[in-house]
Amino acid sequence: MKSSIVICAYTMSRWAELVAAVDSCRQQTESPAEIIVVVDYNEELQERARREFLDAIVIPNHLTKGLSGARNSGVLVSKGDVLVFLDDDAYAEPTWLERLTKPFEDPRVAGTGGWIVPHWEEGEPRWFPSTFLWVLGCSYSGLPGNGASVRNPIGASMAMRRSVFAQVGGYTSGIGRVGITPLGCEETELCIRYIQHQPLDRFVLVRDAIVHHRVPASRATAKYFLHRCWAEGLSKAAVSTLVGTDRGLSAERDHIVKAVPREMITSLAEIPRNPIGSLHRMALILAGSLFAVLGLVRGSVAIRRRPVKIQPVRLDSDQVTDVGTLDEYGEGGDSAVHRGESESHVLSDSWLPIAMVQIDVDGPIDELSVPGAHDKAWVEAVRRGQVIGRTELVLDHGTLSIEDQMDFFATLDGIEPSVEEVKDSQLPRATVVVPTICRFPSQLVGMVEQLLALDYPDFDIIIVDNRTAPNSPLPELPGGNRIRIVSEAVPGISAARNRGVMLATGDIVAFTDDDVLVDRGWLRAMGRVES
């Protein structure tokens, strides 16, 4: 099962944090298939990320401005079976990805959430309530045990099957964070929407999949605490409008009834030892609860006066949109501004997420019935597990016709009808040459493991160490006698590849890079041509 990590960023002021987040993804014990960095309408940040994250896919958010649109943009370019989300100001422990994706061995697990620990940049305040760490986007006291079902994971560290987005669409624009305005709950609405569609599936908490979420001094204040509680109330008002108050507020009711009173009792008992901190904490628990309720009431009133308009997930559009949302004061924001369409066409009170369909270009082509009352579908063409093309197609009474599928396939570059497989005995012996300067040892090991899993009968691998002054050996690589490690002192990929060619024993020589994960059928496809 392949995983794609999506990190969304919007400001140069968190560049160092973004670098740490990306680097932590490179150091995972289980390497991701790809790391995708989505830049939310910041050209300076986008250009720098493209220059420096050479092993990552860096793209702009081409959908609605804000976290929801950025995450949806990442989903669209991803190729993984599992979509993993990490905040740009968080960094993961090495076993995070392996543990976060382990529960997907259960087919009924639709998504997982990790355990998020606050990284206090100037020390933890003694007065901060542990039951309110959600204010900082962190895991909090009152959450269930490891492996327990939860309504939704916390967005700073979560993973979802690709099928979640295929069945119910992407994150809803209009309720997520935009810039520094601390609204949220887009993952809450998505998870509830999915469980309404698949009630037997579940989302689970993985307490040993740990990330650290940075908390600057500016957020360790009572002012930010209360502002964030107010904003949470506004966000929950919007979510409740979409999915109903029972589902939208179920976890919050349990938290207020069970976990918050426990911390009040604990703080009361601590007064003799820490009178100022304990009393401060108790006051903030009461004030935070009150501000969240007031935000919920204010948001509900604002929504009745001006109903929330949600933007459909328009996956083929290059529009630049600022959707009408609840702003931080509970008022409606600016209406949509975009190119080439009227507001009434884009915004819809009766919003329905676009359907997503994957079609194997080498499989039989039949009419496809798309569940739900959809008039169009986002269609992905797949070959050997890789997405090779995307488009939006109109449905005829919920059906995708054979003709439309064939017309779509005809637009894809390099797609030819599948041919009969060549017998193993007819395939030429191959040598795979991989130059490396070993910037990321774990990445090199993961790439070699991927090569060893190739569907090919007879091949060997030459790793060309192209470091000019290596001060340490290459990491221990799997493969035994199928792997040869040679050195090339002349710097440059051409010299390294030439060195590999000189030592190759195969009838054909294939080349790949040390930061690439090849498809299992990659070498067979080339060998078939040569045979």
Residues 404 and 436 in one domain: no
- Which uninterrupted H or E stretch holds 433? strand 430-436
Segments of the chain scoring below 50 in pLDDT:
176-183, 248, 308-352, 417-419
pLDDT reported for residue 317: 35
| 31: in domain | yes
Residues 137 and 25 in one domain: yes
Angle 43-52/15-26 helices, nearest 10 degrees?
Answer: 40
pLDDT reported for residue 331: 39
CATH of the domain at 521: 3.90.550.10
Residues 373 and 510 in one domain: no
Residues 368 and 460 in one domain: no
pLDDT reported for residue 110: 96
Per-residue exposure over 291-303, b if at least 16 CB sit within 10 Å of its own CB, e if not: bbbebbebbbebb
Angle 275-305/260-270 helices, nearest 10 degrees?
Answer: 160
Residues 434 and 366 in one domain: no
Which DSSP string corresponds to 353-403?
A: PPEEEEEETTS----EEPSSS-SEEEEEEEETTEEEEEEEEE-BTTEE-HH
Range of the domain at 147: 3-218
- Which uninterrupted H or E stretch holds 149? strand 149-150
Residues 398 and 431 in one domain: no
Residues 378 and 449 in one domain: no
Burial environment of residue 327 by CB neighbours within 10 A (0 to 12, 13 to 18, 19 or more): middle
pLDDT reported for residue 420: 53
Tens of pLDDT, residue by residue over 213-270, are 999 988 888 888 888 888 777 777 766 665 556 654 666 666 677 667 887 888 888 8
Measured from the Cβ of residue 407, the count of other Cβ atoms closer than 10 Å reads 12
Which phi and psi (to 5°) does residue 158 adopt?
A: -155, 160
Examine the fold and report which residue of 377, 410, 443 is the final residue of a domain before the chain moves on: 410
| 290: in domain | no
Query: Token match 């670098």: residue?
Result: 19
Number of structural domains in the chain = 3
pLDDT reported for residue 24: 97
Residues 376 and 484 in one domain: no
| 235: in domain | no
pLDDT reported for residue 318: 35
Examine the fold and report which residue of 218, 239, 257 is the final residue of a domain before the chain moves on: 218
| 402: in domain | yes
| 137: in domain | yes
| 360: in domain | yes
User: Does the CA dihedral 163-165-167-168 come out positive or negative?
Assistant: positive
DSSP lists the bridge partners of residue 508 as 430
Examine the fold and report which residue of 193, 218, 243 is the final residue of a domain before the chain moves on: 218
- The amino acid that residue 53 corresponds to is F
| 287: in domain | no
Residues 471 and 392 in one domain: no
Residues 451 and 397 in one domain: no
Residues 70 and 192 in one domain: yes
Asked if residues 7 and 37 have their Cβ atoms less than 8 Å apart, the reply is yes
pLDDT reported for residue 111: 97
pLDDT reported for residue 100: 98
Residues 491 and 390 in one domain: no
Q: What angle do CA 4, 10, 12 make, to 5 degrees?
A: 115
Tens of pLDDT, residue by residue over 288-335, are 888 888 877 877 776 565 554 444 343 333 333 333 333 333 334 333
| 337: in domain | no
pLDDT reported for residue 367: 83
